[in-house]
Amino acid sequence: MSSFSPNEWITLLLSITALIISVVLTISQILLARTANRLPIGIDFLREFRSKDFKKDFKLAKDILTETKSYSSLSEEDKYTINSVAHFYDNLGLLIYSETIKKSFILPFLGQNVITSWNIFRDYILEQRKERSNPNYQSYFEYLAKISTKDSDGDIRKKLGLQ
């Protein structure tokens, strides 16, 4: 068995060190890229939430749901409007659950609105779960409401030192 010369040991040690540094830098770049991709997604959701179309659809869905006794009698157009708003919250809940968007980025801005929206949409969604035979329908919306309740506006104000 041949032994390595001191120069060969030094070369081997430097190569291993360079490999370790390359792996660490690669992992940190991947983590930075994941974080960098989160911001545009979060901003797009906030932009959508503030849009005239979303506000108009939300108001219409709210009016329909508060005035309707039987959801099965809703027109397809009304269901489409209601579902488009509910899907917004459901998709947002999915992105927060999957940690694509940090809840600390969204909830301070939307938290109270999510709670109010869930209270408006809850009965409709529960009926849709039965009608579709899908107990998971809009579950991420429900999850979003649950975590929003935990981070109420008062708690956020306290965290920010505003109380």
Mean pLDDT, residues 27-33: 82
Say if residue 86's pLDDT is above 80. Answer: yes
Residue 127 has what pLDDT?
92
pLDDT confidence bin for 129, thresholds 50/70/90 = very high
pLDDT confidence bin for 87, thresholds 50/70/90 = very high
Say if residue 41's pLDDT is above 80. Answer: yes
Which one has a higher pLDDT value, 45 or 34?
A: 45
Q: Return d(Cα 145, Cα 111) in angstroms, integer.
A: 8
Residue 59 has what pLDDT?
96
The identity of residue 26, as a single letter, is: T
Q: Return d(Cα 99, Cα 80) in angstroms, integer.
A: 28
Retrieve residue 14's tokens. Answer: 């430097």
Say if residue 83's pLDDT is above 60. Answer: yes
Which one has a higher pLDDT value, 1 or 94?
A: 94
32-46, 52-66, 149-163: which has the minimum mean pLDDT?
149-163
Say if residue 88's pLDDT is above 60. Answer: yes
Q: Count Cα neighbours of 130 within 13 Å in the Cβ-side half-sphere.
A: 7
pLDDT confidence bin for 149, thresholds 50/70/90 = confident
Q: What is the DSSP string of 60-85?
A: HHHHHHHH-S-GGG--HHHHHHHHHH
pLDDT tens for 90-117 read: 999 999 999 888 888 888 888 889 999 9
Residue 153 has what pLDDT?
56
